[in-house]
Amino acid sequence: MKNIGIWIDKEKAHVIKVTDNQEEMITILSEIDTFKISGGSGTRFKGGPQDVVHDSKYLEREKKQHKEYFKKIAQLLKEADKVVIFGPAETGQKFNKELKEHYADISKKVKDVLRADSMTDNQTKALIREYFNTNNTFA
């Protein structure tokens, strides 16, 4: 039985494969650009010079980069029996939604999507190992 836990945020994902008390961790970097959108005149007065922001371009590019990031992770989940997703922000929820929409066979294997703060590699491995040890009876 191969259980896989994922700790994911916007910058990287740690994919931890757990088999018979052994863990293997693969880190995937997201390559998602962080867009700094600035605007405003820098004064307290209404009007004045402002930067032109093309929000739709940035959002569309970010959306495409998320899809590529999620695709890389999904490739590692094909052989999993059970999957659990952890993360500090909404990226885990977005990834789960992407699985439901485009990877239905993998989505069926997802048992939980939980919030977890940033942690070290060893803490992440321990969290995944503990999760599967205490929840090994669920279907």
**Beta bridge mates, 109:** none
Q: Give the structural domain span for 125.
A: 3-32+63-134
Percent residues over pLDDT 90 in the chain: 49
The answer on pLDDT for 70 being more than 70 is: yes
113: pLDDT strictly greater than 80: yes
| Predicted pLDDT at 50 | 55
Is the pTM value of this prediction over 0.75? yes
Residue 42 lies in a domain: no
Residue 49 belongs to a domain: no
pLDDT tier at 139 (50, 70, 90 boundaries)? very low
Model pLDDT, residue 105 = 94
In a domain, 54, yes or no: no
Q: Does 102 fall in a domain?
A: yes
> For residue 19, what is the domain's CATH number?
3.30.420.60
| Residue 62: predicted pLDDT | 86
Structural domain total, the chain: 1
Q: State both tokens at 93.
A: 């929820």
Spatial distance between the Cα atoms of 35 and 58, rounded to a whole number of angstroms: 7
In a domain, 52, yes or no: no
Q: Is residue 48 situated within a structural domain?
A: no
Is residue 75, in this structure, part of any structural domain at all?
A: yes
Q: Do the domain assignments include residue 55?
A: no
Instruction: Provide the terminal-to-terminal Cα distance of the chain, rounded to the nearest Å.
Output: 13
Picking from 19, 27, 117, 108, the residue whose alpha carbon sits closest to that of residue 72 is 27
What integer pLDDT is reported at residue 89 of this predicted model? Answer: 80
CA 43 to CA 123: how far, in whole Å? 46
Helix (H, G, I), strand (E, B) or coil at 74: helix
Angle subtended by helix axes 55-76 and 91-102, to nearest 10: 70
CB burial string 84-118: b at 16+ within 10 A, e below: bbbbeeebbebbbebbeeebeebbebbbebeebee
